[in-house]
Amino acid sequence: MTHTNHKYHQLDQQYYLPTFKRFPLAMKKAAGSLIWDVEGKEYIDVLAGIAVNNVGHCHPKVVKAIQDQAAELMHISNFFVSEPQVALSKKLVELSGLDRVFFTNSGAESVEGAIKIARKYAHTHGRGGEVISFHGSFHGRTLATIATGKEKMQRGFGPMPEGFIRVPFNDLEAVKKAASDQTAAILIEPIQGEGGINPADAKFLKELSAFCDRENIVLIFDEIQCGIARTGEMFAKDYFGVKPDIMTLAKALGGGVPMGAILSNEQVSSAIDFGDHGTTFGGNPLVCAAALAGLEVIKEENLLQAAKDKGNWLKKKVIAWNHPSIKEVRGVGLMIGIEFEFETKELVMTMLKNGVLANATAGNVVRIVPPLNITYDELEKMLQIMQQSLKEIEVHA
């Protein structure tokens, strides 16, 4: 077979369920913040598998952990424990300040499990099972998680699961108006990712937490995209200084392999009985070994500070352009959104042509979520290519 991007793209369109509007590229290999397609072209990756490769592509320590674990023990089911799973459970509880962990295979699965825990807790205290989420949110593509989000994603998949209410983001009065004794949980991304990199207002989060405490409503933080050092803190909750009852993780947790987690405090965890939830693959030895290695890299390479420093540097650089088409540069750490006056798909495609992988989200936002150990030289080159690409699309306009 001829190894070209076009050929692989054709085969993908022939065989794969047409759910993705893919970039017309087939990737071959990657290292750090660089990735190469099957034709040998090099790209700077500031998408990082959508905020997954926080320690970079194929980090040697993560690769070795996977290789060593694969040669020893990969999967045993959750009828048994393994050394990597026990070690990772302890590590995440210590890092988070929460009390219990449950391992999943994805972000949507983590959110589904969090909703189950919250509803079980609510029912044991005489409350209903309604879940309040926010406009602009994204929590996954399963039936329950699309019920928490945009109506656009719900079309054609009805009837939707009941018990889900959406209110405006950062609006405490709207939350209070929607809440009742039927409310089990409030589900929120501390920083909305797919919605355009929208950080919650710190005052709002603190007041929301206090409201949940008063009303005995479970507060769930979805940290699938903003967690695992992305903001310059291990979790966004630490940046905002607000501790939820439940926190969901995935994406960067596995260091590049698919895994997720639900962390919860003892109060809500105590509602769960044997058999209330389960998983075949969640937390198997292989993915837990990868996650442990990734967390060790974050510590050893001081990537919390790197995310803060590089994020601040990057935002200042873009703001200094004073470009008339840029409306706002926002975000925390290396989770940055650059909002333009125009739809950004053409800009992202032009950047791709010029050697940068980025992403357009929420219509007019370029999402920048690179590996946390990306170099300043790579970031500088990425910015140069973005400026060049802007000029190119302006000429064509």
The set of catalytic residues is 138, 222, 251
Whether 298 contacts 333, CB under 8 Å: no
Dihedral in degrees, nearest 10, Cα atoms 252, 273, 73, 103: 0
Across the chain, the runs of DSSP E, i.e. the strands, are: 27-31, 34-37, 42-45, 100-104, 130-134, 164-167, 183-188, 191-192, 198-199, 218-222, 246-249, 260-264, 326-332, 335-340, 356-357, 359-361, 365-368
What whole-number distance in Å separates Cα of residue 119 and Cα of residue 261? 18
Per-position DSSP letters for 286-354, written without gaps between them: HHHHHHHHHHHHHHHTTHHHHHHHHHHHHHHHHHHH--TTEEEEEEETTEEEEEESS--HHHHHHHHHT
What whole-number distance in Å separates Cα of residue 16 and Cα of residue 14? 6
Residues 6+ apart with CB under 8 A from 307: 229, 230, 231, 232, 333, 334, 372
What whole-number distance in Å separates Cα of residue 210 and Cα of residue 15? 51
What whole-number distance in Å separates Cα of residue 237 and Cα of residue 243? 6
Q: What does the angle CA 161 – CA 274 – CA 106 come to, to the nearest 5 degrees?
A: 50
How many C-beta atoms surround the C-beta of residue 281 within 10 A? 16
Provide the terminal-to-terminal Cα distance of the chain, rounded to the nearest Å: 39
DSSP 8-state symbol, 135: T
Whether 145 contacts 112, CB under 8 Å: yes
Looking at residue 49, its amino acid is G
Whether 248 contacts 220, CB under 8 Å: yes
Looking at residue 13, its amino acid is Q
